[in-house]
């Protein structure tokens, strides 16, 4: 764990015991159906744009997809990079592992879209297909696949173009694999070769996540349904991480603290989230904290540890056999039983 800016007299927590109540999966019917569909269309695809949230470069790397994509031409697109820009060495660390297969992109940074368009044009020229280069956007829920598709389309085509894909800040906005939409015109129309097309896909979760901490991180990025993990638990986990990164991140609310209720109370008072008699409304304060974090207003940090050792272990783990869906279901049942029996 890279420890950030220390504050004299304040000792952040160094561990965060994962509550037993944290679910270890969020694998829904449309994830399974989407994954099966992706398998059938992959043979027609020239390049996969595998999207991962830059704030969670490892936690939004889906081993289930990884196995399906093995051996395919692929660019790893880290989305929402501006939301992680305070983690200075993160891009270099990822580049060391993945080389020039990585792309750092943000919807608010037009240059990053232009660069990706150039990259796709090069690929289209190399491939020289008569029907155009076929790309596929895949990744975990809510990482920004549909937003990327829209940005590529409006940047890559001349003139004003309508948005092709629906987007929204929650998991599961896209439910089905879409049809191919044009993102770069053919050379005849001022683009490249026979043009470039892309298909959007629904976000796919992994059948089983081995540790609860990953689930909490993904929930902080809205990769699972709201309410699946209690907002106050998520705020407590976020507070733990912010304290390690930079306790000043929330200085406009209160002094550094390890007590989530003290933090939430301060947010409730400052933001007017109060019940009758001025009593702090904790659920509203917690929802506010999560929304501030998701908008980058409590610091712009990468939450995964990107030390050399962690990155190596992560890459090694990708080649290890994973639980099948049935094995995952069985493991989940056991987890639930444990959660019921044991302390939370
Ligand atoms: N700040 C920022 N927000 C982004 C970026 N890309 C996407 N978003 C936001 O993230 C949310 C999710 O975007 P979508 O494009 O719907 O994500 P998706 O991966 O298609 O999600 P599913 O279809 O649910 O799997 C939306 O609120 C987007 O505006 C980015 O680069 N920067
Ligand atoms: Mg989508």
pLDDT of residue 61: 95
Ligand 1 centroid from CA 24, angstroms: 23
CATH topology of domain 29-199: Rossmann fold (3.40.50)
What does the pLDDT look like over 294-332, one tens digit per residue?
A: 999 999 999 999 999 999 999 888 876 666 667 766 766
Percent of the chain residues past pLDDT 90, beyond the cut = 74
212: pLDDT strictly greater than 90: yes
> What residues does each domain of the chain span?
1-21+230-308, 29-199
Ligand 1 centroid from CA 146, angstroms: 7
335: pLDDT strictly greater than 70: no
Would you say the CB of residue 144 lies under 6 angstroms from ligand 1?
Answer: yes
Ligand 1 centroid from CA 52, angstroms: 11
Decide which of 162 and 33 is more confident.
33
Strand order of the sheet with strand 196-199? 102-104, 74-79, 47-53, 133-139, 196-199, 181-184
Residue with CA nearest ligand 1 atom 3: 80
- Going by pLDDT thresholds of 50, 70 and 90, the confidence category of residue 50 is very high
Ligand 2 centroid from CA 56, angstroms: 18
- Going by pLDDT thresholds of 50, 70 and 90, the confidence category of residue 158 is confident
Would you say the CB of residue 112 lies under 6 angstroms from ligand 1?
Answer: no
- Closest ligand 1 atom to 149 CA: 15
pLDDT of residue 1: 43
- Closest ligand 1 atom to 150 CA: 15
User: How far from chain centre, in Å, is Cα 337?
Assistant: 29
What does the pLDDT look like over 172-208, one tens digit per residue?
A: 899 999 899 999 999 999 899 999 999 999 999 988 8
209: pLDDT strictly greater than 90: no
Architecture of domain 1-21+230-308: Orthogonal Bundle (1.10)
Ligand 2 centroid from CA 31, angstroms: 12
Residue with CA nearest ligand 1 atom 4: 80
What does the pLDDT look like over 245-255, one tens digit per residue?
A: 999 999 999 99
- Going by pLDDT thresholds of 50, 70 and 90, the confidence category of residue 3 is low
- Ligand 1 pocket: which of 85, 110, 147 to mutate (most atoms within 8 A of CB): 147
Percent of the chain residues past pLDDT 70, beyond the cut = 93
């Amino acid at each position: 764990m890279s420890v950030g800016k220390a504050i004299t007299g304040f000792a952040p927590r160094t561990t965060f015991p994962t509550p037993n109540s944290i679910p270890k999966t969020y694998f829904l019917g449309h994830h399974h159906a989407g994954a099966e569909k992706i398998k059938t269309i992959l043979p027609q695809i020239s390049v996969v744009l595998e999207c991962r949230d830059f704030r969670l470069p490892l936690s939004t790397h889906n081993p289930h997809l990884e196995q399906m994509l093995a051996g395919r031409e692929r660019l790893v697109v880290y989305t929402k990079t501006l939301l992680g820009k305070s983690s200075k060495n993160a891009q270099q660390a990822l580049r060391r592992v993945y080389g020039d297969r990585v792309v750092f992109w943000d919807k608010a940074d037009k240059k990053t879209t232009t660069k990706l368009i150039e990259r796709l044009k090069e690929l289209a020229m190399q491939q020289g297909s008569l029907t155009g280069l076929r790309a596929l956007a895949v990744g975990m829920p809510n990482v920004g696949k549909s937003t990327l598709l829209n940005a590529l389309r409006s940047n890559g085509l001349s003139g004003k173009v309508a948005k092709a894909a629906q987007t929204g800040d929650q998991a599961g906005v896209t439910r089905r694999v879409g049809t191919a939409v044009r993102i770069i015109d053919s050379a005849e129309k001022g683009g490249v070769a026979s043009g470039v097309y892309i298909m959007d896909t629904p976000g796919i979760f992994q059948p089983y996540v081995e540790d609860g901490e990953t689930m909490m991180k993904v929930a902080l990025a809205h990769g699972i349904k709201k309410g699946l993990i209690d907002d106050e638990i998520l705020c407590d986990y976020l507070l733990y991480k912010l304290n390690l990164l930079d306790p000043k991140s929330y200085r406009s609310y209160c002094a550094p603290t390890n007590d989530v209720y003290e933090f939430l109370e301060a947010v409730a008072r400052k933001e007017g989230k109060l019940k009758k008699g001025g009593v702090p409304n904790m659920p509203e304060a917690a929802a506010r904290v999560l929304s501030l974090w998701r908008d980058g207003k409590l610091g712009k940090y990468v939450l995964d540890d990107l030390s050399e050792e962690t990155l190596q272990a992560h890459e090694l783990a990708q080649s290890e056999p994973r639980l099948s869906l049935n094995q995952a279901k069985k493991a989940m049942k056991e987890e639930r039983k444990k959660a019921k029996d044991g302390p939370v």
